[in-house]
Amino acid sequence: MLQGHHLDKWPGRWRDGPVFVTSPDDPMVSAYTAPGHCDVPALMAELVDWLNHGELDAPVRVRASMAHLNLVNIHPWKDGNGRMSRAVSTLVFAREADSLLRPEFSSIEEWLGRGQNTYGYYRVLQQVGGPTWAPQRDTHAWVRVCLEAHHRQAQRAQRRTDLLSRAWGHLRSATEQSGLDERMVFALLPAFWGSKVRRAVYQQDAELSDQQAIRDVRELVRLGWLVPHGKGRGGSGRFASLWPPMRSPTGCGRSVPGARRWRSRFARVVLG
Report which of 261, 125, 127 is spatially closest to residue 194, judged by C-alpha positions.
261
Measured CA to CA in angstroms, residue 153 lies from 30, 60, 87, 147 at distances of: 31, 17, 16, 10
79 annotated to bind ligand? yes
The Cα 89–Cα 106 span in angstroms is 8
81 annotated to bind ligand? yes
130 annotated to bind ligand? no
E strand segments, 20-76: 20-22, 30-33
255 annotated to bind ligand? no
The Cα 111–Cα 87 span in angstroms is 14
- Which residues share a beta bridge with 132? 33
Residue 202 CB partners (closer than 8 Å, separation 6+): 186, 187, 208, 213, 216, 217
86 annotated to bind ligand? yes
The 8 Å CB, 24+ separation contacts for 50-54 are 51/88, 51/92
Single-letter amino acid, residue 2: L
52 annotated to bind ligand? no
Catalytic residue check, 151: no
Nearest 5°: CA angle at 97, between 94 and 102?
55
The Cα 7–Cα 68 span in angstroms is 25
85 annotated to bind ligand? yes
* Catalytic position from the list 6, 37, 53, 75: 75
Catalytic residues: 75
Q: What are the binding residues for ATP?
A: 79-86
Q: What are the binding residues?
A: 79-86
